[in-house]
Chains A and B, each alone.
Chain A
Amino acid sequence: MIALLLALELLLAAPGQPGAEAHLVAGARAFREARYAAALVEFRVAQALGASEAASYAAASLVKLGRAEEAVEVFAEAQGAGDDAVLGYYRAIACYDARLYLCADRLLGEVAERAGPRIAEQVRKARAAIAVELSREPARASVDWFLARCDERRLEGRTALAGAYCDEAVALAGKRADRYRLTEAAAQRAALPARPEGSPR
């Protein structure tokens, strides 16, 4: 009997407490009502209380609030964010809005038709626009910009974001005939911690 009570204690102590669910529900309600700042707070609390899916929802709220860089970071730490096509689309938009167009293009390619016809149409348009922009050789100033951004974010301790900017710098430098600052960009990227599993390359 005591063992059973102990087992129930263990069960109640497991992550994903009713408190977390209450905040998840409140967050979902707020998101549905387009109150994204309120949704973000609720999802953050749910996440802190152990609701694993809350991080992706918080990231989606950040996308809706126009806070793209933070969304990129939160998506990077969210578990299973890439499994859901709609959330994958939000993640791609976070990259797009942070001007991480290569990251966005990769993620949009993974979403493709899986998220329904309306989103699929947006995916096609976005990928076509990105393809046009990336069809010409990137300017040296673009490589400079991404490298500077990478360094800034690294100094702020935002390594996931720094890595995303460095990845972009490496890819853009590699698209230039003169490989402008490619070695430097690759070295800067290599000095950052490895990407978390499931994060955009």
Chain B
Amino acid sequence: MALHSFILAVALAAGPVPDEAATVRTVMREALREAAPPPSGRPVLPEGALRGGQMTDATRAMKRDAERIAIERAKSGAAQAGRAGSGGATHNGTTGESMHGDREGSDPSCDPAGMMRSRGMMPGGDHTVPGSGPQHRGM
């Protein structure tokens, strides 16, 4: 009986793909096809220093950090995932940088001195004090 149940479970686990996954594959295949990017310009073998258009390692590291934070937030709840997604939605093309920029604006840790001042003035030291976000965001 136990063996039978185990085999049943394995068969189900390896069985037909759930409808949702199949739908995602279909949607993605079509979306990938529609969004297929052309090659970026004429191929030229590099012969020296990085060109201006290429990301520096520091920029790349910042993008990865921003993405890691977004993933952590997405994992912690659907609502936070939605917020992370909408941040990128408004800046297609340079979304990584915009994510980082937005995160700098909303994250008090980006300006510790400023936050210390705010906390000193605001009882309770709540870093969500109105007005502190836009001040950072605008910079």
* In the assembled complex, B13 has its CB within 8 A of some CB on chain A: yes
User: When A25-B20, A31-B31, A87-B32 are in contact, do A37 and B88 touch as well, CB less than 8 Å?
Assistant: yes
User: When A42-B74, A141-B47, A145-B46 are in contact, do A36 and B88 touch as well, CB less than 8 Å?
Assistant: yes
* Residues in A whose Cβ lies below 8 Å from that of B64: 70
Q: How far is the CB of A4 from chain B (nearest CB, A)?
A: 5
Contact in complex: A116, B33 (CB < 8 Å): yes
* Residues in B whose Cβ lies below 8 Å from that of A119: 33, 36
Contact in complex: B35, A34 (CB < 8 Å): yes
Chain B interface residue number, banded: 35 or more
* Residues in B whose Cβ lies below 8 Å from that of A24: 20-21, 24
Contact in complex: A11, B95 (CB < 8 Å): no
* Residues in B whose Cβ lies below 8 Å from that of A3: 1-2, 4-6
* In the assembled complex, A67 has its CB within 8 A of some CB on chain B: yes
Contact in complex: A42, B75 (CB < 8 Å): no
User: When A34-B35, A93-B37 are in contact, do A25 and B24 touch as well, CB less than 8 Å?
Assistant: yes
Closest A residue to B71 by beta carbon equals A44
- Within the complex, which residue of B18, B39, B55, B63 is in contact with A96, where a contact is CB–CB below 8 Å? B39
Give the total number of A-B pairs whose CB atoms are below 8 A apart: 190
Bitwise, A116-133 to B at CB < 8 A (1) or not (0) is 101100100110011001
Bitwise, A125-159 to B at CB < 8 A (1) or not (0) is 11001100110001101100110000000001000
Bitwise, B21-39 to A at CB < 8 A (1) or not (0) is 1011101111111011111
* Residues in A whose Cβ lies below 8 Å from that of B60: 67, 69-70
* In the assembled complex, A186 has its CB within 8 A of some CB on chain B: no
Q: How far is the CB of B48 from chain A (nearest CB, A)?
A: 6
Q: Which residues of B contact A (CB under 8 A)?
A: 1-2, 4-6, 8-10, 12-13, 18, 20-21, 23-25, 27-33, 35-40, 42-48, 55, 57, 60, 63-64, 67, 70-71, 74-75, 78, 81, 84-89, 91-93, 95-96, 98-99
